[in-house]
Structures are given as structure tokens and as C-alpha cells.
Chain A
Amino acid sequence: MIESLMSLMGGFATALTPMNLLFCLAGVSMGMFVGVLPGLGPVAGTALLIPMTYGMEPVTAIIMLAGIFYGAMYGGTITSVLINTPGEGASVITCIDGYQMARQGRAGQALGVAAIGSFVGGVVAIVCLTFLGPAIADIALGFGPPEFFSLMMFGLLLVVGLMGKSVVKGLIAAVLGVLLSEIGIDSGSGMDRFLFGQIELLDGIDFVVLAMGLFGISEILLNMEDVSKVAVPARVEKMIPPREEWKPTLSAIARGTGIGMVLGLIPGSSASIASLISYSVEKKVAKDPSRFGHGAIEGVAGPETANNAYSGAALIPLFTLGIPSSPTVAILLGAFIMHGLNPGPLLYQSDPDFIWGVTASMFIGNLLLLIMNLPMANLWAKVALVPYKLLYPIILIVCMIGIYSVGRSLFDVGLLIFFGVIGYLMKKLEVPAAALILAFILGENLEYTMIQTVSMSDAGMLLLFQRPVSCVITILCIIALVISLYTAIKQRRDQLGDE
């Protein structure tokens, strides 16, 4: 514990250098920006800025990109409360009571408790990362290929099971993701695979191209069907709630922190699920549940805390095991790899300056966000008024220039457009793109650990059942798959019954 504290102090020395501080501010501001703007979520926002980090030191780049991730959670609240338009998925639930509070002239209080709750949730999650991270990494140091293979499979299956409506479509997306990751030179044999006559595919598909296409371009194409109308934001005054509301608010914040923390550790869950569960819990424990939907302050405090606690906690499996739990974290993992870092238990030993620098920067980032949100909420609300018709061409051209700068290849820009169309079709067909990107990023490691597992003994893949940790995780994988399939079959039967 003392060791973690000392390391964190060292991290502050890294995070507080003028350059890192500047990029932390840039990251959280960008996060606020993508959170406030409807139609540009944190996944697309993070993917969009990755090309800009090429020339940066890895620690500076990840400080900025992580800032976008947790900053977006703060930003999404403002438009949910003021104009009833969630900037990102996790803030949808805040619209219910937040907007009602705004209509009652309590917009300031809604934003105030949301900002304080977000700060508490975010900071508690980072404290846990500080103290739990090294402990989990120590345990994971004893893991071999079978354990990592089963862990990655578990993460993927949970994503497939929890995201999207159909297990079959989720599995199709995941399998396609791994297949796409196999395009290019195979690192094990040195053989090129699936080039389809295109020499440009020799280096494989760049994950930024895939992420930006599937999440950025597709989102714009989707918005083009019907460009949303912009509403006028409510006025923000008096941000502290009356004294009698402090107790229920603080309790909601405490519960939201717990819910967000636990869900952040589970791959496949999302900040939206954390907010939704927190809202249901608040409604259940409330003395008068009928207030919910009509401006209950706990309905804002709980979910907003939960989604920020989630985003901090979601970094724990990334830093310690190298396993992303959500699409945005998967993009962060891609950025780690791009900057030559290998997330996982060894990172704490091989690159402590990096890991503690990023952790410390998140404390600073959350503080910056609290300042940005309490006195400057009105200013951010104005950002939502930037007309989409002015904004989307700029996003498109930044995407294309960004992709060109990755590999200096027009082929990549063409691929970006192609994956943009694929992402659009996937959304229309309700195939979860998140499962595809997660599988794509884990694909190479999945194959590598599979080959190593098979070569380790004569038992082949049965080795997974002969080692205690991998055996437990593999059984969990099977349970996750069976439950997902059972739920899908049951839903179909219920549908048939209804008909």
C-alpha cells in the first residue's frame, strides 16, 4: 500500500510536467466536447484523436486519450439536463429526471450533483486502480498462455452476450473481428494471409481505420438520415441542492460508486448499463418512488456517479490484464499497442513511470473536469448549439486526414470509407460493432496464446481444464455462452407464444 502511494507520488511528478498537464487538459476538454455533442460518442472521439498522438511520448498520448474517455462521461450530462439530448449513451438515463429538474428551474442543482457525483465516482475508481492494480498485476504475473487465452475468450463472450440483441449476430461480429485481425503477415510463421490480391494489406488492417470507420464515419452516415434539430438550453443557476436533499443525494452517490466500480470490472458491461442499474436501485430504495421521472435528484446523482466510477474501474482490467472491457477501452488498448506498450501485468514492472503517470493524471483530470463543470456549465451548453451541418463535414475531413497520416496511404482512406459503410449496415442490421472491434484487437493475441497453449503439452486445448485458473475461467466461458444461448432461445419462444 505504501509502495503504491510512493509510486503514485512519482506518477504525479510525471503528470504535472507542463506538457503532460497541457495534454491532460486538452484530453478532458476534448472528452467534454464529444460528450456534449450529440452524434459523436467517446469511441469515435478517441479513435478520431489517435492519429494526432503519433508524435507524442506514449505517456502524454495515453494521458490525453484516457482524458477523452472519462471526460465524455461528464460532458454527456450537460446536454441531457439542459436540452434533453444525451451526448453519449451513458447519459440517456440522466435525461429522465435531469431534464425534469431543468424544467422546474433546478438545472443548476442537477448539474451540480452530477458533477460532484461524477468526481467522487471517478476518484474512488482511480483510488481502487492505484491500490488494486498492482495486486491484480502480481497475481496475473503467474498466468501463462492458457490463462490469458481463457480470459480473452471470457471477455469476448461476455461482450457478445451482453451487447446486442442476438447472440448469433454477436458471435458473427466477434468471429469476423478475429478473421480481420488475421489479414496480413502472420507473426508466428511469417506467412502472409488473406491479402486478396491487395499488397497494401500486407501490414494488416490498421485498427484506427477499422475503429474510425465502424464508429466515426458510420455514426455520421446514420445521422444523415435525419439531421437532429437543436433545442435551446435551460438557464443554469444555483448549483448546490437544498440542505434537506443532501442526505439522499450523498447516499445515491455512494451507491452509484459501488455499482459503477463492480460493473467496470466486468467485460462486456457498459457505462450505460451501470447508469441504468443505478437508476433502478435508486428508484427501489426511495421512500417515494413516484417522484422518479418528475425531477428526483437521486435519479441524476446515482447514474451520473455510476457511469464515471465505471469508466475509472474499466481501466483496471486493461492496465493489469491487458483485457479491454468496453469498445472505448479497446480503442485505448489499440493506442497502447500503437505506442509500443504492452498492457498487462508486466507493464507495472517494465514501465512504472508510464502507468503511474497516467493514473496520477486521472486524479488531475477529474479535478479539472469538476472545475469545468461547476462554474462553466453554461459555456459548455453553448457548444451543443454548434449546428451539426457545420460540424459533420469537418469531422469527416479530420477522419480522412487522420487516417492518411497513419500510413500515408490513400488505400487506408478507401478502407475507412468501406468500414464506414460496413459500420452503418451493422447498426441497421443490429450486429454489434463493439464485439467486432474487441475481437479484432484481441485477435492476434488470441491466436498466439492458442498456439502456445496447444504446444505446451500433449493434451492440446484440454490443457485449459488441467490448470486451476484457466479451468475456472473456461467453465465460466461455457456458462456465459450457455446462458446467452438459453436467454436467446427463451426470448424467441416467448415471441412465438405471444404470436
Chain B
Amino acid sequence: MDKKKISIISSIVVIAIAVMFLVYSLQYSFVGIIGPGPGVMPFCLSLILLVLSVSYLITALRGKDSIGSMPDKKGLFSILMILVYMAIYVVLLKPLGSVLAGIVFLFLLYRNSYRWYTALGISAIVSVFLFVVFRVLLEVNLPVNALGF
């Protein structure tokens, strides 16, 4: 996708966000107990955002917007995989407990960089270490499985 298209799409997304906030802000009162109500500031801001995003769209349509270089297919794939693995960790955290979910997450990331047994070893050591630091030392209530880890 070329840069102009990306700029146009992103400006349309910002316009959509502005409209969404604008519509929502109309639900709130504009008069409060001591002065302006909870709707005033969001309404003004979303209106300003709408004007700004339209100006952004005009710049984008003229092809004058400057944006950074986009990742190649390989880079994009790496980024997507990381996001998928993070989502898997979130899904597994409660049913498996933080140590096992951590091992799975880290192993998925390390398996391409190290041999499988090294990757598994590092994943296990890091997961257990973080469990001890957060659960035992910092007394954070991390999710645990039936076995207590």
C-alpha cells in the first residue's frame, strides 16, 4: 500500500473517532452544579478533533503528508506474530497459571532464535524467576493454577 493511501485511511480513522466522541458527548449534560457540565469539554474537544482530522485528510489527499517507512512483509509478519503470542498469553494466563502461560509465551518467541531445549530452558527459568519476584517478593496476586503456580 502506498504512503498516500495510508495517510488517507488514517485521517479517516481519526475523523471516525472524532465523530464517535462527538455523538457520545451529546448524551451528557452541558450544565453542571457549579458551571459547565460533563458534556462541555468533550463536546468542544471532539469538535476541535473533527476540524483537525479534516485538515489532516485534506493534507493526505494532496499527497503532502509525511510518514515513516512501512515494514516489509517479513517485518510485518514478525510484528503480527508477537501480537498473536501476546494474545495467547492473555488467554492462557488464568486457566494455566502465570508460570505455565509464561513458559508457553516465551517458548513461542525464543523457539526461532534458539534450539528447542535451550528455548524451553530459558523460558522456564525466566518464568519461575518472574513468578518469584512478583508473587513472593512484591506480593502481587498473579493468577495460579490448581497446583499453585
A contact residues vs B (CB 8 Å cutoff): 51-52, 54-55, 165-166, 168-169, 171-172, 175-176, 178-179, 182, 186, 188-189, 191, 193-194, 196, 220-221, 224-226, 389-390, 392-394, 396-398, 400-401, 404-405, 408, 410, 413-414, 417, 420-421, 424-425, 427-430, 447, 450-452, 454-455, 492, 495
Cβ of B83 under 8 Å from chain A: yes
For chain B, the count of residues having a C-beta within 8 Å of the partner chain is 65
Among B49, B64, B139, contact of A492 (Cβ-Cβ < 8 Å): B64
Enumerate chain A residues within 8 angstroms of B113, measured Cβ to Cβ: 389-390
Query: In angstroms, how far is the closest chain A Cβ from the Cβ of B51?
Result: 10
B38, B94, B106: the one within 8 Å of A397 (CB): B106
Dominant secondary structure of chain B at its interface with chain A: helix
Since A52-B138, A429-B67 are in contact, a sample of 6 more A-B pairs with Cβ atoms closer than 8 Å, ordered by chain A residue number, is A55-B138, A194-B21, A389-B113, A397-B105, A417-B86, A492-B64
B82 at the interface (CB under 8 A from A): yes
B79 on the A face (CB < 8 A): yes
Interface contact tally, CB-CB below 8 A = 160
Question: Does the CB pair B28–A191 fall under 8 Å?
Answer: yes
Instruction: Give the CA-CA distance A175 to B14 in the complex, in Å.
Output: 11
Say whether A417 contacts B83, CB under 8 Å: yes
User: Are B138's CB and A179's CB within 8 A?
Assistant: no
Question: In chain A, what residue has the closest Cβ to B56?
Answer: A168
Docked complex Cα distance between A116 and B7 (Å): 46
Chain A residue numbers with a CB within 8 Å of B71 are 225
In the complex, the answer to whether A405 meets B55 with C-beta atoms within 8 Å is no
Majority SS at the chain A contact face: helix
Residues on B with C-beta less than 8 A from A224 are 75, 78-79, 82
Residues of A within 8 A of B21 (CB): 179, 194
Question: Which of B56, B126, B142 sits near A394, CB closer than 8 Å?
Answer: B126
| B67-95 contacts to A (CB < 8 Å) | 67-68, 70-72, 75, 78-79, 82-83, 86-87, 89-90, 93-94
CB-based contact A455/B130 at 8 Å: no
Report the minimal beta-carbon distance from A454 to chain B, rounded to whole angstroms. Answer: 5
Contact B79 A424 (CB under 8 A): yes
List 7 A-B residue pairs with CB atoms under 8 Å apart, sorted by A's residue number: A171-B52, A179-B21, A401-B140, A405-B138, A417-B83, A450-B41, A451-B34
